[in-house]
Amino acid sequence: MSFIPLSQPDITDAEIDAVVNTLRSGRLSIGPRQARFEELLADRTKRRHAIAVSSGTAGLHLALLSLGIGPGDEVITTPFSFIASANCILFVGAKPVFVDIDPRSLNMDPTKVEAAITPRTKAILGVEVFGNPTHMDRLAQIAGKHEIPLVEDCCEGLGGTHMGRPIGSFGRVGVFGFYPNKQITTGEGGMIVTDDDNIAGLCRSYRNQGRGDMLGRGTPTSASPHDSRAGSWLAHERLGYNYRLSEINCAMGIAQMERLDQMLAARCRVAGLYMQRLMDFPDLILPNMGVDPNCEGSSWFVFVVRLCDLYGQVERDRIIEGMRRHEIGAANYFPCIHLQPFYRRQFGCAPGMFPIAESISQRTLALPFHNGLDETQVELIALTLKVMLDREKLLKR
Ligand SMILES: *Cc1c(COP(=O)(O)O)cnc(C)c1O
């Protein structure tokens, strides 16, 4: 058996054929595949609008821009996430205000969110970390009470539900990402979802060089963008970007969406194998998705275990190294955002500011997780992890 990677995209002939057909169609950008991919995401999340963009990060940028957030504004978010969920706040010149997390769900602690609201708070940006939607309903309530929007960074939660509602339907605006380690991939790509016509129109315009009016008209899907007679094509209403997603990517996305339920079931199966195999490891805290044990409604993004307090960052990092030496891809998901070199330098962030997030992020460890993992591989990973844990214990004697 060779190296077991941390993640691996699930690509079949359906995706390959879809891409080849697109190449043969001659229409490579702004076409029917974008419209269809958007429709599939809007349906799945029960939202009026879906706007395809070039990445989850681009989508978060446009979400904040379309809400009118800018310099002088504060946005409350989590220090325990992928860095893009805080960086997007900086893209628009606003200030990220971090709050500590709840140790069970690893998501922002709603009580601390409410305590952090000031007159300058212009949004709450919540993340379903590792696909766990716990507290998103509470964040929506708090945002509603204070009359500020909730931005849902649902990049890790496609296909999941919470309190009977799809992930992606909680925020004024939600954003998905389709990087190759996500539940579905388009290589690179993202999707903004919202019920708000105004936000949708602005996002459509911003992704396409600021073309068009508030309804997104002048962003031709039928008129060829190469046709100089398409008058509005050269009218730029606002400072925009090129955050479009090509037809090639959208073709992949359609094929992946058609297999989403099947892929979520495969991820559930792998998570179940891990749960069963690791249940009896006394030094591990297993992921708590906050949903029922049959996986109903959950969308597994990664499989992250936490070492108990006997172990620290040094031991955790050595375990990751050891697993890699045994050809098993493991990783330290996530290092705290506020302790990244850039945030320390720019904002004077330092250890001790968010003790729960910091303590947890020193002890978390992502194990290989993808649709095709089988029992033998999970057994190999579990055995290797056990040896590494025992080894660390002996070293401490
Ligand atoms: C993946 C991810 C993003 C960014 O998505 P990209 O498509 O890689 O830009 C943003 N936020 C979170 C929480 C993510 O996991």
For the stretch 121-130, pLDDT in tens is 999 999 999 9
Any ligand 1 atom below 6 A from CB of 54: no
Closest residue CA from atom 6 of ligand 1: 56
Distance 183 CA to ligand 1 centre (A): 12
Ligand 1 atom at minimal distance to the Cα of residue 85: 11
Tokens of 51: 């706007």
The pLDDT score that the predictor gives to residue 220 is 47
The pLDDT score that the predictor gives to residue 396 is 85
pLDDT of 281 > 90? The answer is yes
Q: Which residues contact 107 (CB under 8 A, 6 or more apart)?
A: 78, 101, 126, 127, 128, 129, 132, 134, 135, 136
Whether the bond into 334 is cis, omega within 30 of 0: yes
Distances (CA, A) of 196 to 35, 258, 326, 341: 18, 26, 50, 37
Ligand 1 atom at minimal distance to the Cα of residue 189: 7
Residue 167 belongs to what H/E stretch? none
Average pLDDT, the chain: 93
Any ligand 1 atom below 6 A from CB of 156: yes
Q: Which residues contact 6 (CB under 8 A, 6 or more apart)?
A: 181, 329, 330, 331, 366, 367, 368, 369
Any ligand 1 atom below 6 A from CB of 177: yes
Rounded mean pLDDT, 354-363: 98
Ligand 1 atom at minimal distance to the Cα of residue 301: 15
Distance 132 CA to ligand 1 centre (A): 15
Nearest to 75 by CA among 25, 132, 139, 166: 139
Distance 210 CA to ligand 1 centre (A): 23
Whole-angstrom distance, CA of residue 329 vs CA of residue 304: 12
Distance 300 CA to ligand 1 centre (A): 15
Closest residue CA from atom 2 of ligand 1: 155
At 393, the amino acid letter reads K
Ligand 1 atom at minimal distance to the Cα of residue 188: 7
pLDDT class of 228 with cuts at 50, 70, 90:
very low
Any ligand 1 atom below 6 A from CB of 153: yes
Distance 290 CA to ligand 1 centre (A): 22
Query: Whole-model pTM?
Result: 0.94
pLDDT of 329 > 60? The answer is yes
Rounded mean pLDDT, 178-206: 97
The model's pLDDT over 118-177, given as tens digits with 9 standing for 90+, comes to: 999 999 999 999 999 999 999 999 999 999 999 999 999 999 999 999 999 999 999 999
DSSP 186-212: -SS-EEEEES-HHHHHHHHHHHBTTBS
The most distant pair of C-alpha atoms in the chain lies apart, rounded to whole Å, by 78
Q: Which residues contact 99 (CB under 8 A, 6 or more apart)?
A: 76, 77, 78, 79, 108, 109, 112, 113, 115, 116, 354
- HSE at residue 55, side-chain half, CA atoms within 13 A, is 12
Tokens of 156: 């890790």
Any ligand 1 atom below 6 A from CB of 179: yes
The model's pLDDT over 85-108, given as tens digits with 9 standing for 90+, comes to: 999 999 999 999 999 999 999 999
pLDDT class of 221 with cuts at 50, 70, 90:
very low
Q: Which of 41, 80, 82, 154 for mutating ligand 1's site (highest number of atoms within 8 Å of CB)?
A: 82
Any ligand 1 atom below 6 A from CB of 84: yes
Distance 58 CA to ligand 1 centre (A): 9
Distance 390 CA to ligand 1 centre (A): 34
Q: Which of 7, 53, 57 for mutating ligand 1's site (highest number of atoms within 8 Å of CB)?
A: 57
Ligand 1 atom at minimal distance to the Cα of residue 129: 13
Any ligand 1 atom below 6 A from CB of 82: yes
Q: Which of 61, 130, 153 for mutating ligand 1's site (highest number of atoms within 8 Å of CB)?
A: 153
Distance 82 CA to ligand 1 centre (A): 6
Any ligand 1 atom below 6 A from CB of 190: yes
Distance 192 CA to ligand 1 centre (A): 12
